[in-house]
Structure 1
Amino acid sequence: MSTNAQTFVNLESGAFFTGMNDIRNGSNGTLFSMKNDFQTPVSPFLRLRAGYLVNGKNHFSFLFAPLKIVETGTIEKDILFDGKNFKANIPIEAIYKFNSYRFTYNERIISKDDFKFGLGLSLKIRDAGVSLKNRELLSENFSIGFAPLINLLVNWDISQKMGVDFFVEGIAASKGRAIDLSSSGRYSFTKNLQGNIGYRLLEGGANGTNRYNFIQLHFIFASLNYSFNKTNKDP
């Protein structure tokens, strides 16, 4: 009996832009938008996933996905943020951070030569928050949180070299949700090296008594995936 294991590394990069980023901090805080009240730039990003695929069915991986948006300017309204009043028409810097770390397990329920479908669970750790700063005040609310996610994977090989990949991790509840989905086209350069070009949506947020934040971020990405094959034979 032999066990086929693939250690893999996936590097993804590209550019993202903001579709929505609405924020309120404090029960009586001001609701403002980092999309509409500031000039939001298109920004580069980088994601790294490394993992292990056993017998083509059991996928274990770790994802590191840092994300940071820095915006500066002046806005035409006061912002009450965490009990501090940031006056209008004074230059202000806003920082939005959402660093994500995920441990993922996915089992290929259907595993054919040209089609694969898998379901699994992920543990998400997020280091996220917002800070505002002007020449008079500084307020920041960065924190670390945990959330379980359900994941779903679809791989369809159109030909020997080309295929389509879909992957989503997410969860929804009455007070919030978290969704990270990607759809891409794949090309196999060699048996061990594949490249993808596609689209990713990061969407969700939370509606709490003291904090409110919902985002919608759009990503155009290219990625490279390299796998190291290893076969272990049991005695």
Structure 2
Amino acid sequence: MKTLSLGVVMTIVLSASNASAGVEAEVEASVVVASRNDTRIPGDTGTKLSLVDDLSTSPAPAFRLRLGYRIADRHLITALYAPLQVNARGSVGRDVEFLGATYPAGTPLLAVYRFDSYRLTYRYSIFWRDGLDVAVGFTAKIRDAETSLYGVEARRKTNTGFVPLLNAHVAWRPGNGAFGGVLDIDALAAPQGRAEDVLLAATWAFHENLELRAGYRMVEGGADNDEVFSFAWLHYGVVGFRMSL
């Protein structure tokens, strides 16, 4: 899926070079720290394991690529590729049951949490004036997730599925000046789980079509069912670059 997605991204980039004004591209780099990352697999019989409290999770690098096309100023369609992998190491003072395997207390463990996100978003600017853009829309998200545990045995649980989200966006540059801020939200909650992705960043438009940003991103959510219990709360320090063509 990663190879296919990268191929799609490259195709869009090459096509964009010949497109008319309205194409947007964003690149974001970040460092990710987890304050919660709990898993229990199977969800009803496994051992609850915290990759943050039971094991040691190191900060992880991450990046995002977003390509979009703006139509008649107010309509924007974007495609996002956002891979993520967080590793945790250590040992636990109790036996751990994970996917039918037993990891005895004190066994050195490596846990891998991977959550790759592919999203297609449409949003409409309900207010577009005097440096202020307020927009709402919806996002179709495909998650490609994996939780793996390595020790005396190796077990891996993958989960690929569709998640609908609501989108909100506020960008403000007072007086149409160079400096401003942006708030971007993808979120939705349901009885079986929830997903939240929130960015708050300062922006600097150092050229008519070029913008730098720096800020904080929060990703939180998970699912609780018989097959899997998994909830994570991740914090990103981000820097990004946006270009409009």
Pairwise CA distance, 1:79? 0.8
Aligned to 1:96: 113
Q: Which residue of 2 aligns with 1:231?
A: none
* Residues 57, 89 of structure 2: 8 Å contact kept: no
Question: Are 1:202 and 2:219 matched, yes or no?
Answer: yes
Paired letter, 2:27: L
Tell me which residue corresponds to 1:72.
89
For structure 1, the residue ranges without an aligned partner over 5 or more in a row are 229-235
Structure 2 residue 176 is matched with structure 1 residue 156: no
Alignment correspondent of 2:33: 17
Report whether the alignment pairs 1:141 with 2:150. no
* Counterpart amino acid of residue 23 in structure 2: T
Match of 2:195 in 1: 178
Q: How does 1:53-68 map to 2 (within 5 A)?
A: 53-68=70-85
Runs (5+) with no aligned partner, structure 2: 1-19
Q: Contact conserved, 1:186 with 1:196, CA < 8 A, in 2?
A: yes
Amino acid aligned to 1:63: L
CA RMSD, Structure 1 to Structure 2 (Å) = 1.1
Matched residues, percent identical? Answer: 32
| Equivalent pair of 1:125/1:144 in contact (CA under 8 Å) | yes
How far 1:73 moved relative to its partner? 2.2
Alignment of 1:21-36 (within 5 A): 21-26=37-42, 27-36=44-53
Matching of residue 226 in structure 1 with residue 243 in structure 2 = yes
TM-score by length of 2: 0.89
Measure, in 1, the Cα distance between the counterparts of 2:172 and 2:88. Answer: 40
Distance 2:110 2:47 in 1: 16
* Conserved 8 A contact 1:5-1:55: no
- Report the number of matched residues: 224
Q: Which has the higher strand share?
A: 1
Structure 1 length as normaliser, TM-score?
A: 0.92
Equivalent residue, structure 1, for 2:4: none
Once residues 103 and 39 of structure 2 are traced to their aligned partners in structure 1, the CA distance between those partners, rounded to angstroms, is: 14
1:102-113 to structure 2, matched below 5 A, reads 102-113=119-130
1:87 is the counterpart of 2:111: no
Q: Is the 1:166–1:181 contact (alpha carbons within 8 Å) kept by the matching residues of 2? A: yes
Residue number in structure 1 paired with 2:15: none
Q: Is the 8 A contact 2:117 2:144 kept in 1?
A: yes
Distance 1:201 1:137 in 2: 33
* CA displacement, residues 83-129 of structure 1 (integer Å, 9 cap, x when unaligned): 11111111111100000000000100111132111110110000002
1:211 is matched with which residue?
Answer: 228
Q: Secondary structure at the match of 2:94?
A: coil
Q: 1:175: Cα distance to partner?
A: 2.0
Aligned mates of 2:25, 2:145 — CA distance in 1: 25
Report the Cα distance in structure 1 between the residues aligned to 2:123 and 2:96, rounded to whole angstroms: 43
